[in-house]
A and B are shown apart, each in its own frame.
With several copies, the nearest count.
Chain A
Amino acid sequence: MKLDSMYQDVILDHYRNPHGKGLRDGDAEVHHVNPTCGDEITLRVRLGGADGQTIEDVSYASQGCSISQASASVLNDLVVGHTVAEALATGDVFLELMQSRGHELDRSDEELEEILDDGIAFAGVAKYPARVKCALLSWMALKDAASQAVQKEQERKSA
């Protein structure tokens, strides 16, 4: 069944057992909505580390389909413990994958797997334009929250 390419077991697993779900303390909080379907996410980022540039936690409360839930869970796996710059770079690669519409990318599969880990399971979703937004919702929220958190950090420093 063609569907299996979208609903890979990895995705269904993350959907059933989402990693890092729930709202915990954070340095910035954003609320994003997918107006097309009403999916929503509230997402918080907590920074730390020596230079205050490491993502120590991403916590979230969300409502949405399996794809958007699983994507938030994978995001949590991929970015916690990494610097903001690394996380955003990972997000860019994920965006590339999602916009590929199932076509070949410039990167090799190995490279993709190296960067996106479980995230490569979303390759099948890229063939369904209406679902791409579901997969990207948490990543858009992360980008927004991270940049707010970084800005606050800078303000704190320069204050």
Chain B
Amino acid sequence: MTSSTGVLPGLLDTDAIRKDFPILDREVNGRKLAFLDSAASSQRPRQVIDAMSQYYERHHANVHRGVHTLAEEATALYEGARDKIAAFINAPREEVIFTKNVSESINLVANLLGTADEPYRVGPDDEIVITEMEHHSNIVPWQLLAQRTGATLKWFRLDDEGHLDLSDIESVITDKAKIVAFSVASNVLGTRPPLEQIIRRAHDVGALTLLDAAQLAPHAPLDVQALGADFVGFTGHKMLGPTGIGILWGRQELLQDLPPFLGGGEMIETVTMEQSTFAPVPYKYEAGTPPIAEAIGLGAAVDYLQSIGMERIAEHEHALTAYALERLKEVEDLRLIGPTTAEERGAVLSFTLGDIHPHDVGQVLDEQGVAVRVGHHCARPVCLRYGIPATTRASFYLYSTPAEVDALVDGLQTVRRFFA
């Protein structure tokens, strides 16, 4: 097999979809762009760009505190976006908090646990559990929390195949654990760990759970009630939405019990110079003027995703991943990092190519219009684990095509020739 002339089963009608994404028409270095870097940040359809422009052109004003018409329209659009996102993850609207990105969502929780009252407060005798597979945004906040509170940071290790090693789950998650935070889909390995097993163990010992769903929410159905975790975070720019917006979902009772994080306008009930009381959730965690246009853009993104269907998107990416795994086998000296079958992974393929440094791989691919990410992908411990300085990563989304996989494979052959 050397090209994708036959249509793969499960693919979406990408011809139609790609018409909605102006940037995918671009040329790069005189070649048609093959954008294989959606795991870093996806592109946006015209519907999302237009929703934001129209908002600014027709309806903008600050939200909540106005009685004038624009303020009411802006508030209705902003809160309407919250409704859409709540429906998208099957949550009550009060449990959907707008943040600036998932990094902030995670930091928010880590900070709360540092200042909360019992039983949530993390103290010197407590343990925080993460995994070796995490993005820096789900490592550093917990390191900082551990430093500030004296708590101990522990983690699950990766096995040689890119799976979490859960064989010692009972000694990693003990009854000293206050929080277990982990990614439901790795941005380097594509690994999707067994959520239920980890969540069950965490709850058995009374620990809270936070799921980093940055790489899942864009690609598959996400039902926070079914998952049974306490917090779930994800980020707008990876799911067709704008930059500058992320989501933290949390159980309402919990959020009500926990202290505030950032203070300011919007999050208060009443303020005197001496003291303040706080608004109910979600507003308690939304200090200052919120990302209004960004929320509206993310609402439009969610509409778009749902018009295609998350199940269909997952199928499409699955088919592409299977195809890519097959085709990459043709490239000599290519070493895939992480699980080897499409069943075990998301549409994220990291690999090394002989001893050619990923920077050089990426550069030569770019020359051919193929955009991939190179480096440690903000998950340096994964590279350390597998003894490699960095990887080249190709990632797919609903607009990706087999022809782009072919362009990648051809590009890699050119790279090998170039550095031969």
Contact = CB atoms under 8 A, between A and B. Distances in A.
A128 B363 contact: yes
A38 B269 CA distance: 9
A35 B279 contact: yes
Given A7-B418, A64-B389, A65-B357, A38 B380 contact: yes
A129 interface: yes
B65 interface: yes
B270 interface: yes
A37 B65 CA distance: 7
B72 A129 contact: yes
Contacts of B359: 37, 39, 64-67, 131, 134
A38 B270 CA distance: 8
A1 interface: yes
A50 B390 CA distance: 44
Interface string A114-131: 000000000000001111
Interface in B199-248: none
A58 to B, nearest CB: 21
B128 to A, nearest CB: 24
Report, as a range, how many residues of chain B touch the other chain: 20 to 34
B389 A38 contact: yes
Interface residues of A, number: 23
B270 A6 contact: no
Most chain A CB inside 10 Å of its own CB: which residue of B76, B279, B389 = B389
A159 interface: no
A13 to B, nearest CB: 13
A35 B268 contact: yes
A3 B369 CA distance: 12
Given A3-B364, A65-B360, A38 B75 contact: no
B389 A130 contact: no
Interface of A: 1-3, 6-7, 12, 33, 35-40, 63-67, 128-131, 134
Given A66-B360, A67-B359, A134-B359, A3 B269 contact: no
B164 interface: no
Contact of A3 (B363, B376, B383): B363
B75 A2 contact: no
Given A3-B364, A64-B359, A130-B66, A37 B390 contact: yes
Nearest to A63: B389
A20 B288 CA distance: 39
A64 B357 contact: yes
B374 interface: yes
B375 interface: yes
Nearest to B277: A33
Nearest to A6: B363
Contacts of B29: 2
B67 interface: yes
B270 A33 contact: yes
A26 B311 CA distance: 58
Interface string B369-380: 000001110001
A36 to B, nearest CB: 6
Most chain A CB inside 10 Å of its own CB: which residue of B363, B380, B419 = B363
B332 interface: no
A12 B64 CA distance: 25
B71 interface: yes
Nearest 7 CB-CB pairings of A with B: A65-B359, A65-B357, A37-B375, A38-B376, A35-B269, A3-B367, A130-B67
Given A37-B65, A65-B359, A130 B390 contact: no
A66 B361 CA distance: 10
